[in-house]
Amino acid sequence: MSEFELPIVFLMLPLPLAVYFLLPSYKERVSSVRFPFFRNLVSAAGQEPTPGSVVIGRTMIQNVAAILVWCLLVCSLAQPVRVGEPVVQETAARDVMLAIDISGSMDQTDFQTTDGERIQRLDAVKQVVGDFITERDGDRVALIVFGSKAYVQAPFTEDLVSVRALLEQTEVGMAGPQTVIGDAIGLAIRTFQSSQIDQRLLILLSDGSDTGSRMAPRNAAGIASSEGIEILTIGVGDPEGSGEQRLDEQSLREIASAAGGRYYFANDETALSAVYERINELAPREVETASYRPREPLGHYFLGLALLIGLMTLLLLQLNSLKRRTV
């Protein structure tokens, strides 16, 4: 489909007619030659003398070419464009950050699969969280891993394949043996500061209690809440354990409560999958859509055609002039 962006320019089409009828004809004085026998010459030619003004006439080719060129110039000034089919772009309406505990306790092989097999906690988390990442199509996802230190494994991106690949490459103990939940939340807050999206969700998964953060996890969660970050916490350890192997459910509940989220407990792969299904229900995929039609300017085609007509007209006039001279 084609259209003109400035159709008001077509009001200029009758402008040459207005100039022709309203403005006086151009006059120019030129030198003349006197003939003493002018009357005899006119009489011999069978003509009647008239006052000395000559209006040079135009041929049909010149008139048609002038009209076409003027119409093409006006069309070009009206900015013709070719409008393409609507193109819909979807952009993320939410940023989702995953903070995964990879401390030494995640090496425990007490996580039960759907077929009853015991596997490492982190392996189960990788599988279930990986599927969750794949389902976040339309969201930007970031990945933080933490142990004794917290690190950004993947910044916010819509490239979910890369995020899942980076998750698969993580191993227990890569970030140290301890668990710094508060520092992980603090790093998430700093990472979210570069986000321009209002809806921000942090999913924090841990199997132990905080053992070395510079900021208390509850205080960090309060700061996150003031930054508009909702925190959902997931516990995957043993609440009945001892020392660093014990899952501090109370702390995870307080973190979620301070940041307007919820706490979930998952003691096997089936329960963990159910947790992420529940999170999908609470935080469904959201996107912002923008539609536009590509517009291709066509004015240069009209100008090119006008130039071609003008050159062809000049060529024809020159050929006619040469023919008259040779006759």
Backbone angles phi, psi at 197, to 5 degrees: -100, 135
| pLDDT, position 104 | 83
Question: Residues 172, 174, 180, 185: is their CA dihedral positive or negative?
Answer: negative
Among 48-52, 183-187, 216-220, 300-304, the minimum mean pLDDT is found in 48-52
Q: Is the pLDDT of residue 92 over 80?
A: no
The structure tokens listed for 237 are: 């350890």
Contact residues for 224 (Cβ-Cβ < 8 A; gap 6+): 185, 188, 189, 202, 231, 258, 259
pLDDT in tens, 8-39: 999 999 998 888 888 877 777 777 777 677 77
Q: So what's the pLDDT on residue 142?
A: 92
Closest CA to 147 of 107, 187, 104: 104
Q: Does the predicted model carry a pTM greater than 0.85? A: no
Rounded average pLDDT over 155-169: 91
Are 166 and 153 spatial neighbours (Cβ–Cβ below 8 Å)?
yes
CA distances from 112 to 85, 284, 309 (A): 52, 27, 82
Q: Quote the pLDDT of residue 215.
A: 85
Please report, for the chain, the start and end positions of each structural domain, with discontinuous segments joined by +.
2-24+53-85+293-326, 89-289
**pLDDT: is 230 or 323 the higher one?**
230
Give, as one character, the DSSP assignment of residue 327: -
pLDDT of residue 31: 73
Mean pLDDT of the region 160-176? 90
- Which of 26-35, 67-76, 318-327 is predicted with the least confidence, judged by mean pLDDT? 26-35
Range in 43-57, 102-116, 213-227 with the lowest mean pLDDT: 43-57
Does residue 25 or residue 101 have the better pLDDT?
Answer: 101
- Measured distance CA(164)–CA(135) in Å, rounded: 11
Q: What is the mean pLDDT of residues 83-92?
A: 70
Q: In this predicted model, which residue has the larger pLDDT, 288 or 110?
A: 110
Contact 178, 131 (CB under 8 A): no
pLDDT tens for residues 187-237?
Answer: 999 999 888 777 788 999 987 678 878 888 899 999 999 998 999 998 887
What single DSSP character describes residue 238?
Answer: B
Q: What is the 3-state secondary structure (H, E, C) of 244-288?
A: HHECCHHHHHHHHHHCCCCEEECCCHHHHHHHHHHHHHHCCCCEE
- What's the CATH class of domain 89-289? alpha beta
